[in-house]
């Protein structure tokens, strides 16, 4: 059994957390490959080391001194090393990093040193080998992550290490310069490592008990999801639910490796399992989760006999495609067609899209209305249960909420409804209360 364990920034923010992390790793010998983030916040108004490194980079570009700021970064690491009583001298590393940032080694280089230094400390503390991902996690010339090259390089490299710490967040370009993933990207490194060693499980340790059924800022103490499929996770993440970087799913998903979200501060909780497929679900609660977003607009097009005009839909969508925009949903009637798009995305090109639609399909009426919120009610259990849509509508009706749009695909994995932005939070609460007793 091999597990890859990734620890987020809050799980490695100070010496006390390093101790918890060591205990977790040592409690199971299968935890052989460890991917750390940079030290995160220790308290609410604290600063993440990655943010301090970006600030150092910005100062150096402006020709300002970085010494004071860089000293704060050194203090963060030194306090961890000293409190853990480690015999580790990082002073040469600090000098080299500071010099490189001052000499414009690059924004990604600066940011990546947060993970690099934390990896050095963690490897020394738990006695694992340190494997720098620079040579093994590769990006192509266009900056896109190179899956195949990385997989072959990293699997050969890690086969030589029984146990290793591999810093998250970065790799390198073909010319050797450091390149990072987008923010939160250590999750992606963990997934890449899990795939390279064909792990049985990818454990992602963070500071919450797992993936929650609804946004805790809206719903009071929502339940933790025990098991969720990759497909369900995609639907919920797309609608704004977060715990894991969106791109972290792909490497493990294609290898069929499950992910387990765990809480470093509460290791006895089983967390959330993200699995390739699952036939089972809790019959007392057919839905897995609810997520939603504000900020959508509806383009409504009406034309008599639209239904018999072949190519009508294509022409309308072409008008949107020309602006390089994608649409979200397409609910339609016989003589009406609605296209749902992000309000922010069409702000600048609204007039052009309307003009284009008017000239290509000559509608009787066309309007663009903002202020729509979308809510996705997701659950693999829905396909086997009758009355799920009824219960979503009942919950909204009983809370006096008007449903403006409905979309349910035949895969029956989710029901999406559109409501006025002003009703968004009430609708989420009402639907949650209907399904979670």
Rg, C-alpha atoms of the chain:
25
Q: Which residue's CB comes closest to ligand ASP?
A: 186
Q: Is 76 in the site for ligand ASP (CB under 6 A)?
A: no
Q: Rounded CA gap, 144 and 167, in Å?
A: 19
Q: Rounded CA gap, 96 and 118, in Å?
A: 16
Torsion sign (Cα): 166, 167, 168, 169 = negative
- Interface region with ligand ASP, contact rule CB under 6 A, candidates 182-190, 213-221, 291-299, 408-416: 182-190
Least distance from C-beta 62 to ligand ASP, angstroms? 22
Q: Rounded CA gap, 49 and 33, in Å?
A: 23
Helix axis angle for 186-196 and 147-159, nearest 10°, is 60
Least distance from C-beta 108 to ligand ASP, angstroms? 11
Q: Which is nearer to ligand ASP, 180 or 229 (CB)?
A: 180
Window 98 to 157, contacts with ligand ASP (CB under 6 A)? 114
Q: Is 251 in the site for ligand ASP (CB under 6 A)?
A: no
Q: Which is nearer to ligand ASP, 184 or 271 (CB)?
A: 184
CA 161 to chain centroid, in Å, comes to 29
Window 186 to 215, contacts with ligand ASP (CB under 6 A)? 186-187
Q: Is 183 in the site for ligand ASP (CB under 6 A)?
A: yes
Least distance from C-beta 136 to ligand ASP, angstroms? 18
- Interface region with ligand ASP, contact rule CB under 6 A, candidates 96-104, 184-192, 350-358, 419-427: 184-192
- Interface region with ligand ASP, contact rule CB under 6 A, candidates 129-137, 180-188, 305-313, 405-413: 180-188
Least distance from C-beta 357 to ligand ASP, angstroms? 40
Residues in CB range of 124: below 8 A, 6 or more apart: 86, 88, 130
Least distance from C-beta 183 to ligand ASP, angstroms? 4
Q: Which is nearer to ligand ASP, 214 or 248 (CB)?
A: 248
Of 33, 169, 205, 296, the one binding ligand ASP by CB under 6 A: 169
- Interface region with ligand ASP, contact rule CB under 6 A, candidates 83-91, 119-127, 181-189, 308-316: 181-189
Of 3, 31, 32, 48, the one binding ligand ASP by CB under 6 A: 48
Query: Pattern of binders to ligand ASP over 349-388, x per CB under 6 A?
Result: ----------------------------------------
Longest dimension (CA), the chain: 80
Q: Is 260 in the site for ligand ASP (CB under 6 A)?
A: no
H helix or E strand, kind and range, residue 178: strand 178-180
Q: Is 18 in the site for ligand ASP (CB under 6 A)?
A: no
Q: Is 10 in the site for ligand ASP (CB under 6 A)?
A: no
Residues in CB range of 296: below 8 A, 6 or more apart: 328, 340, 341, 342, 343, 370, 372, 373, 374, 418
DSSP H helices in 301-417:
312-321, 343-346, 350-361, 388-398
Q: Is 38 in the site for ligand ASP (CB under 6 A)?
A: yes
Of 10, 11, 50, 264, the one binding ligand ASP by CB under 6 A: 50
For residue 176 the two structure tokens come to 């050797």
Least Cα distance to 177 among 106, 92, 235 occurs for: 106
Q: Which is nearer to ligand ASP, 185 or 289 (CB)?
A: 185
Q: Coil, strand, or helix at residue 240? A: coil
DSSP notation for 34-85: EEE-----SSTT---HHHHHHHHHHHHHTT---HHHHHHHHHHHHHHHHHTT
Q: Are 72 and 142 in contact (CB under 8 A)?
A: no
Least distance from C-beta 65 to ligand ASP, angstroms? 24
Least distance from C-beta 96 to ligand ASP, angstroms? 20
Q: For residue 94, which phi and psi values (nearest 5 degrees)?
A: -60, -45
Binding residues for ligand ASP, per CB under 6 A? 9, 37-38, 48, 50, 114, 168-169, 183-187
């Amino acid at each position: 059994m091999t597990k890859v364990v990734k620890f987020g920034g809050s799980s490695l923010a100070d010496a006390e957390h390093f101790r918890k992390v060591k205990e977790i790793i040592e409690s199971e010998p299968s935890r052989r490959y460890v991917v750390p983030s940079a030290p995160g916040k220790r308290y609410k108004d604290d600063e993440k080391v990655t943010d301090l490194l970006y600030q150092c980079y910005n100062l150096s570009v402006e020709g300002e001194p970085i010494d004071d700021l860089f000293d704060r970064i050194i203090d963060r690491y030194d306090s961890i090393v000293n409190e853990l009583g480690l015999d580790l001298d990082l002073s040469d590393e600090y000098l080299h990093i500071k010099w490189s940032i001052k000499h414009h080694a690059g924004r990604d280089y600066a940011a990546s040193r947060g993970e690099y230094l934390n990896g050095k400390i963690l490897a020394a503390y738990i006695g694992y080998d340190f494997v720098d991902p620079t040579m093994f996690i590769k990006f192509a010339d266009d900056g896109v992550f190179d899956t195949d090259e990385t997989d072959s390089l990293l699997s050969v490299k890690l086969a030589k290490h029984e146990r290793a710490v591999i810093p998250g967040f970065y790799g390198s370009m073909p010319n050797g310069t450091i390149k990072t993933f987008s923010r939160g990207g250590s999750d992606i490194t963990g997934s890449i490592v899990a795939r390279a060693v064909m792990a049985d499980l990818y454990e992602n340790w963070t500071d919450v008990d797992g993936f929650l059924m609804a946004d805790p800022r809206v719903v009071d103490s929502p339940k933790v999801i025990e098991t969720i499929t990759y497909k369900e996770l995609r639907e919920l993440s797309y609608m704004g639910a977060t715990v894991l970087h969106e791109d972290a799913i792909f490497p493990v998903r294609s290898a069929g490796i499950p992910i387990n979200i765990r809480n470093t501060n509460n290791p006895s909780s089983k967390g959330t399992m993200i699995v390739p497929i699952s036939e089972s679900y809790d019959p007392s609660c057919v839905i897995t989760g609810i997520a939603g977003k504000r900020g959508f607009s509806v383009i409504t097009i009406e034309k008599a006999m639209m239904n018999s005009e072949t190519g009508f839909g294509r022409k309308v969508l072409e008008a949107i495609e020309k602006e390089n925009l994608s649409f979200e949903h397409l609910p339609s009637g016989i003589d009406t067609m609605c296209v749902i798009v992000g309000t922010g995305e069409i702000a600048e090109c609204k007039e052009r899209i309307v003009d284009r639609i008017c000239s290509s399909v000559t509608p009787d009426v066309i309007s663009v209305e903002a202020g729509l919120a979308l809510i996705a009610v997701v659950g693999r259990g829905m396909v086997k249960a009758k009355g799920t849509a009824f219960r979503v509508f009942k919950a909204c009706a009983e809370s006096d909420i008007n449903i403006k749009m409905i979309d349910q695909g035949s895969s029956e994995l989710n029901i999406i409804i559109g409501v006025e932005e002003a009703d968004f939070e009430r609708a989420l609460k009402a639907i949650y209360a209907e399904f979670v007793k």
